[in-house]
Amino acid sequence: MGIGLYWMNENIERAGTPGPNYTNSQGTLFYKFGYTSLFFEPIKTLSRRWQLSAPFHLGSAVIETRYLTNTGSKELFRTTKAPLFEFSGVAQYKIYRWLAVGTGIGYRSLLVDDNKIKKALNAPVYILQLKVLLGVIWKALLNQEIDDGWDD
């Protein structure tokens, strides 16, 4: 279990207008968002080096929607908060007992009524990981038993 913090550095650009009353719109929308989630990651260990997991996230997102004006500026017209969920599958390989790399794929879905936001932000997620396994390091420093299957 854990807490995740995620954000996008770049805007997601889509064709569209904020609505009929925005006559100064050039027809381009920009979405930027970040989210916080609680996640649960059931793990299936296959060997001392390999493990598979299926993380499930429940969270809350903040979405900023901007439109391109006739003068070329990006004007904020809405900030939306929305719940989201994400499910994925991840394979991890331990290089050392305390260091692992992983990769996976999943899908993120925002629970909003706005179809433009859904179309722009509901999407597959691609996962690349580099994990420093702090629990293993901590137990080794305290000279405690490490029950990760490495010695089996």
Question: Does any domain span residue 146?
Answer: no
- Token pair 């994400």 is at which residue? 86
Instruction: Give how many domains the chain has, as a whole number.
Output: 1
Question: Does any domain span residue 18?
Answer: yes
Region at 64 (left for phi over 0; alpha for psi -120 to 50; beta for the rest): beta
Question: Does any domain span residue 15?
Answer: yes
How far does the chain reach from its first CA to its final CA, in angstroms?
25
Predicted confidence pLDDT, tens digits, the chain (152 residues): 899 999 988 999 999 888 877 878 888 999 999 999 999 999 998 888 999 999 999 999 999 999 999 898 999 989 999 999 999 999 999 999 999 999 999 999 999 999 999 999 999 999 999 999 999 999 999 999 888 778 76
Looking at residue 90, its pLDDT comes to 97
pTM of the model: 0.81
- Token pair 């433009």 is at which residue? 116
Question: Does any domain span residue 56?
Answer: yes
CATH classification at residue 67: 2.40.160
Question: Does any domain span residue 113?
Answer: yes
Looking at residue 93, its pLDDT comes to 96
For 107, the domain range is 2-141
Give the rounded distance of the alpha carbon of 47 from its chain centre.
27
Tell me the two tokens of residue 97: 């007992």
Question: Does any domain span residue 71?
Answer: yes
User: With contact defined as beta carbons under 8 Å apart, do 50 and 44 qualify?
Assistant: no
Question: Does any domain span residue 148?
Answer: no
Question: Does any domain span residue 50?
Answer: yes
DSSP letter assigned to residue 114: -
C-alpha 140/C-alpha 152 separation (Å) is: 17
